Amino acid sequence: MFDPIPSGIIDLLVVGGRTVGATADRTQEAPPEAGDLALRAAGALGLAIAQVSMVGDPRSLKILRVEAGPDLAAWNTRLDGRLAPLLIERLVAAADGA
Protein backbone atom coordinates (compact mmCIF):
# COMPACT_ATOMS: atom_id res chain seq x y z
CA MET A 1 0.00 0.00 0.00
CA PHE A 2 1.24 3.46 -0.86
CA ASP A 3 1.53 6.22 1.70
CA PRO A 4 -0.68 9.25 1.06
CA ILE A 5 1.01 12.36 -0.26
CA PRO A 6 0.67 14.86 2.60
CA SER A 7 1.00 17.99 0.49
CA GLY A 8 -1.45 16.90 -2.20
CA ILE A 9 -0.95 16.78 -5.95
CA ILE A 10 -0.79 19.87 -8.14
CA ASP A 11 -1.64 19.46 -11.85
CA LEU A 12 -0.80 22.17 -14.38
CA LEU A 13 -1.64 22.33 -18.06
CA VAL A 14 1.02 23.78 -20.35
CA VAL A 15 0.09 24.97 -23.85
CA GLY A 16 2.55 26.69 -26.15
CA GLY A 17 5.08 27.67 -23.52
CA ARG A 18 2.65 28.98 -20.90
CA THR A 19 0.60 27.49 -18.12
CA VAL A 20 -3.09 27.83 -18.86
CA GLY A 21 -4.69 25.95 -15.99
CA ALA A 22 -4.01 24.41 -12.60
CA THR A 23 -5.73 22.20 -10.08
CA ALA A 24 -4.57 21.27 -6.60
CA ASP A 25 -5.80 18.59 -4.22
CA ARG A 26 -5.58 20.44 -0.94
CA THR A 27 -4.96 24.07 -1.78
CA GLN A 28 -6.97 26.71 -3.58
CA GLU A 29 -4.21 27.67 -6.02
CA ALA A 30 -0.96 26.29 -7.32
CA PRO A 31 2.01 28.37 -6.15
CA PRO A 32 3.81 30.50 -8.79
CA GLU A 33 6.86 28.22 -8.48
CA ALA A 34 4.73 25.35 -9.80
CA GLY A 35 4.08 27.19 -13.07
CA ASP A 36 7.78 27.76 -13.67
CA LEU A 37 8.60 24.12 -12.93
CA ALA A 38 5.81 22.90 -15.23
CA LEU A 39 7.09 25.06 -18.09
CA ARG A 40 10.64 23.78 -17.61
CA ALA A 41 9.48 20.14 -17.46
CA ALA A 42 7.39 20.38 -20.63
CA GLY A 43 10.15 22.32 -22.39
CA ALA A 44 12.81 19.79 -21.41
CA LEU A 45 10.74 17.10 -23.11
CA GLY A 46 9.97 19.25 -26.15
CA LEU A 47 6.22 19.20 -25.49
CA ALA A 48 4.01 22.06 -26.67
CA ILE A 49 1.03 20.61 -24.76
CA ALA A 50 1.45 18.70 -21.49
CA GLN A 51 -0.06 18.10 -18.08
CA VAL A 52 2.58 18.27 -15.35
CA SER A 53 1.79 16.74 -11.96
CA MET A 54 3.89 17.58 -8.92
CA VAL A 55 3.98 17.42 -5.11
CA GLY A 56 5.65 19.30 -2.30
CA ASP A 57 5.63 22.74 -0.81
CA PRO A 58 6.59 25.74 -2.98
CA ARG A 59 10.24 25.54 -1.89
CA SER A 60 10.65 21.87 -2.76
CA LEU A 61 8.27 20.86 -5.55
CA LYS A 62 8.94 17.49 -7.19
CA ILE A 63 7.65 16.27 -10.56
CA LEU A 64 5.48 13.15 -10.35
CA ARG A 65 4.73 12.79 -14.05
CA VAL A 66 4.44 14.65 -17.33
CA GLU A 67 1.59 13.59 -19.60
CA ALA A 68 2.04 14.24 -23.31
CA GLY A 69 -1.64 13.42 -23.89
CA PRO A 70 -3.67 15.15 -21.18
CA ASP A 71 -7.47 14.94 -21.12
CA LEU A 72 -8.12 18.18 -22.99
CA ALA A 73 -11.90 17.82 -22.81
CA ALA A 74 -11.75 17.63 -19.00
CA TRP A 75 -9.38 20.61 -18.85
CA ASN A 76 -11.66 22.60 -21.16
CA THR A 77 -14.55 21.91 -18.78
CA ARG A 78 -12.46 22.94 -15.75
CA LEU A 79 -11.50 26.14 -17.55
CA ASP A 80 -15.11 26.92 -18.52
CA GLY A 81 -14.47 26.55 -22.25
CA ARG A 82 -11.40 28.80 -22.32
CA LEU A 83 -9.01 26.03 -23.41
CA ALA A 84 -10.40 25.48 -26.92
CA PRO A 85 -9.47 28.99 -28.16
CA LEU A 86 -5.97 28.60 -26.69
CA LEU A 87 -5.51 25.32 -28.53
CA ILE A 88 -6.66 26.89 -31.79
CA GLU A 89 -4.18 29.73 -31.23
CA ARG A 90 -1.40 27.17 -30.65
CA LEU A 91 -2.32 25.22 -33.81
CA VAL A 92 -2.29 28.39 -35.91
CA ALA A 93 1.11 29.36 -34.48
CA ALA A 94 2.47 25.89 -35.24
CA ALA A 95 1.15 26.08 -38.80
CA ASP A 96 2.90 29.44 -39.20
CA GLY A 97 6.16 27.87 -38.01
CA ALA A 98 6.23 29.39 -34.54
**24 located within any domain:** yes
**94 located within any domain:** no
Q: Quick one: which H or E segment has residue 14?
A: strand 9-15
**86 located within any domain:** no
**75 located within any domain:** no
pLDDT at 83: 93
How far apart (Å, rounded) are the C-alpha atoms in residues 24 and 74? 15
**37 located within any domain:** yes
Can you give the residue range of the structural domain that contains 64? 9-70
Report which residue type is found at 90: R
**49 located within any domain:** yes
Contacts of 50 (CB under 8 A, 6+ apart): 13, 14, 38, 41, 42, 66, 67, 68, 70
- Its pTM stands at 0.86
CATH code: domain of residue 62: 3.30.470.20
| Over residues 86-96, mean pLDDT | 87
Look at 12-16, 46-50, 91-95 and tell me which has the smallest mean pLDDT.
91-95
Domain count, the chain: 1
Contact by Cβ (8 Å): 30, 24: yes
